Amino acid sequence: MMVFKKPLDLRFQFQLTTLLVAGNPIKHISFSSVPSLAHSDMLAQKLDSQLKSSLSGKHCPNSVIVEAVRLFEHAVVDLMQVPFASTCNFLIETLVKNKAYGLAFDVYGKITRTLNRAQFTPSFLTLAALVEIFVHTHKPDLAFSVFGIILKRGFVINVYLLNMLLKGLCENGMVDKGVELLCESDGKPMVSPDRVSYNTLIKGLCNANRLQEALELRAGMETANLTPNLLTYTILMDGFFRADKVDEAIGLLEEMKIKGLEPDVFTYSTLVNGLCSKGMMNRGKEVFDEMLVQGVSPNVVTYTSLINGFCKKGQLKETMVIFNSMLECGVKPDTVTFTSIIDGLCKDGRVDKALQVFNLMLGKDLGLGNTTYNVLIRGLCTKGLLTDAFNILQVMIEKGEKPNVVTFNTIMMGLCDHGKVDDALSLFNSMCTGKDYAEPDVRTVTLLVHALCQKKRTCQAAEIHDKMMIKNKHLVDVQTFTVLIGAHLKEEGDVGKAMCTWKKMTELCFIPDSLSYGTLIDGFCKLNMLNIAKGIFLTMRNRRVFDYNSVMAALCKESSFGQARGLFQEMLNDGECKPDSVTYNIIIDAALKAGDLQLAEQLLTHMLQGGLKPDAFTFSILISRFSNLGQTEVAKKLFDKMVASGFTPDILVYDSLIKGFTLKEGKSDEILRLLHEMSDKGIVLDSKITSTILRYLSDTPEALHLVELLPNFPRQQPKEICVPNFLKLQSCSA
């Protein structure tokens, strides 16, 4: 085969040497200092034969592909051989067939840099392969450029290539360009699109939340005499669910049936998943049951959608029914299935069972990802089982799964929630400096700043905040600034620092939100700077319940009960900002302090009529106030109602009630019963209630007798949490 018009020695001045590398498939080939054209053809033929022989299989092992590319590059780049154009085309096309897109692009680049146009002209299949390469490497613009080369070479764009490019454009957020591609500027199509073309674009539009345009494209599809198929309807169903149009999504099922299309497993799975994701478990289960009646076998996606939905609802009994049904039908659970179950168990507080499921997954070698580990670590941290959480982190590292920033943020939250702020700080420093740790993000910084502020370490929090702000503006946000502003006001009482921080926030173009303004209002209220707080409150457009509550609490504190009631009435008249339990607690407490028992009872009745249930704090307020007023019978009834409502009285409630009984004669039995109840519940005495008990004993003639009847109370045992050394974790991951 002759492919060169000029003698080789006129194009290249070089001497080819014999390759003596052991194991090289082209060793023992020798060349004259100026090879003849026939000799060049012989070498090209040999290279062609070797490549086609090694890449003859339909699916080639990666090692064979790599060796073939190495052989080709050595011949062309190192030895400057000129291969046949057909060899170059074959290699590129074969690499693409085996999805070795990176290697294919590298080879194409080396060919075009080494050979001139006379030596290599890409075939149509090679150009088509280039389109596929650019689509899969997320370079749709380059793929689009190849279309121009194809047309310039006189080739015709076929529908397969069109669909390939459409897919690339849609997956890279360029759906508009995809729609334009269907037609040229004069309105005539470059190539007649098929159902795949339309379905690809409809899916792209749905994914971009452009449902109306997707529906219009379906109408255009019908105009082009292309009837929508099952996939079209399934894609649109998913689009309707994304747009929260559940009834329209279900309506498509009926439309399909009218048009003679029988839903398949993918259609039903889309419906079940959409309904479950919206929390509509009953309707999701109904569709699942219909699916079974129609003889369509659910797949792992169908089952997992139901399992995930029931887990999120806390319906673990229903979860296990579906899971067992899944196993009985021979459908193998995947990582997503097990992760959903672990998440549901953790949220239900059954972390021991979650660990069992996790160990089962390890035994089945399911290839756990970050999501599974993160879900379990979060569940363990929430329960305060930090040692177990770190053990799972260790397993994660040993299994070769690199923890991401979500993993470390979850652990940091667990440490902060359980008072281990210094350990959280150590973890943060490791994230900032350790190469094997995920870099902190804005959530990491916010968690740490908030934890330090809660521990009254505001200066340290501000130092870290400013350091991160200088390092990268995106490591702080409005929430981080708001936390710091609140701490300056409420913990330090330093208005100057708070306002300086507010100024920095606005200078960095962060726009204060309702939480920011609410924090200012709450802070000024706690500093008894009520006029400033009210001024900010009155200028706010979007007031929250929290903002009303802050101002009302401050007004009640300064005995401006009338103004507080005025704000309360304003909330009742507001269609959006209705009073919550905290609002009622503030007003009821103020009414009781003012001695207006009738108003307090009316407010409690109104609260219940509004669908709000008294919380533990409501009962605590009422019990405390009625006890102080000497109305112990009423207080005792409220106490019993509190317990019956599922609330556990805290030590303050017991102290209030005992104080109330000490004001009455002949109530020693009641006091002893309450003390024994506290002991049985493991409540540890604090200084306040101890003082109440001692004062009572000192005032009663029965003191010696009562002392003998007092129960034994447990002592406070500090809970130690074993926190591993972060540097050791780092060394394990290395």
Residue type for 585, please? N
Closest CA to 155 of 184, 127, 194: 127
With H, G, I as helix, E, B as strand and everything else as coil, classify residue 227.
coil
696-724 confidence digits (pLDDT tens):
777 777 766 677 777 877 776 555 555 55
**Residue 506's CB: how many other CB atoms inside 10 A?**
12
Specify the pLDDT at position 21.
Answer: 31
CB contact at 8 A, 520 and 489: yes
Kindly give the parts of the chain with pLDDT less than 70: 1-37, 39, 183-189, 365-367, 703-705, 716-734
Specify the pLDDT at position 185.
Answer: 39
In angstroms, the CA 177 to CA 617 distance is: 59
| 76, 123, 148, 279 from 127: Cα distances, Å | 21, 6, 10, 48
| Three-state SS annotation for 196-221 | HHHHHHHHHHHHCCCHHHHHHHHHHH
Closest CA to 237 of 227, 229, 245, 226: 245
In angstroms, the CA 460 to CA 450 distance is: 11
Specify the pLDDT at position 722.
Answer: 53
Specify the pLDDT at position 5.
Answer: 34
Tokens of 699: 């005032």
Specify the pLDDT at position 188.
Answer: 61
Q: Which residues of 134-156 are buried (b: 16+ CB within 10 A; e: fewer)?
A: bbbeeebebbbebbeebeeeeee
In angstroms, the CA 712 to CA 715 distance is: 9
The DSSP letter of residue 77 is: I
The domains found in the chain, sorted by start residue, are 45-221 (1.25.40.10), 402-512 (1.25.40.10), 513-613 (1.25.40.10), 639-708 (no CATH)
Specify the pLDDT at position 719.
Answer: 52
Residue type for 84, please? F
CA 147 centroid distance within chain: 39
CB contact at 8 A, 339 and 367: no
628-640 confidence digits (pLDDT tens):
888 888 888 888 8
Q: pTM (2 decimals)?
A: 0.68
Specify the pLDDT at position 187.
Answer: 56
6-24 confidence digits (pLDDT tens):
333 323 333 322 222 333 3
Dihedral angle, C-alpha 222, 202, 266, 172, nearest 10 °: 160
In angstroms, the CA 485 to CA 487 distance is: 5
Specify the pLDDT at position 33.
Answer: 42
Rg (the chain; Cα; Å): 37
Its sign, for the CA torsion 27, 28, 32, 33, is positive
The DSSP letter of residue 473 is: G
